[in-house]
Amino acid sequence: MDEDDLALVVRDAFPVSQGHTLIVPRRHVASFFSVTQEERASIVRLLDRAQVALRCDHALDGYNIGIDDGLAAGQTVPQLHIHLIPRYIGDHDDPRGGVRWVLPGKAKYWS
């Protein structure tokens, strides 16, 4: 899909939506907070390019961007990867709260 010397963009093997994409550093590193400034810049640059490519290929309406960093956060693969998840109107009955739903009892902040 896309790449540079420090990171690459791949499709998720178990997508939660059409176009679900991952941005992964080439160096083995488990945490976002352990990447170098150069790696971080590369990851963000590729994230931006990936969303442009997705927008051209899919009639999407939004994105969720996520990182599971550490076991308590649900990280199951010990390699940093950033999820870029395209969202579509109607793909969920009530998408309000977005990533807050990782803790369902805490997600709803509106009345």
| Residues forming the active site | 81
Q: With residue 49 as reference, give the H or E element that holds it.
A: helix 37-57
* Cα angle: 98, vertex 17, 59; to 5 degrees: 95
- The CA distance from 23 to 6, in Å, is 11
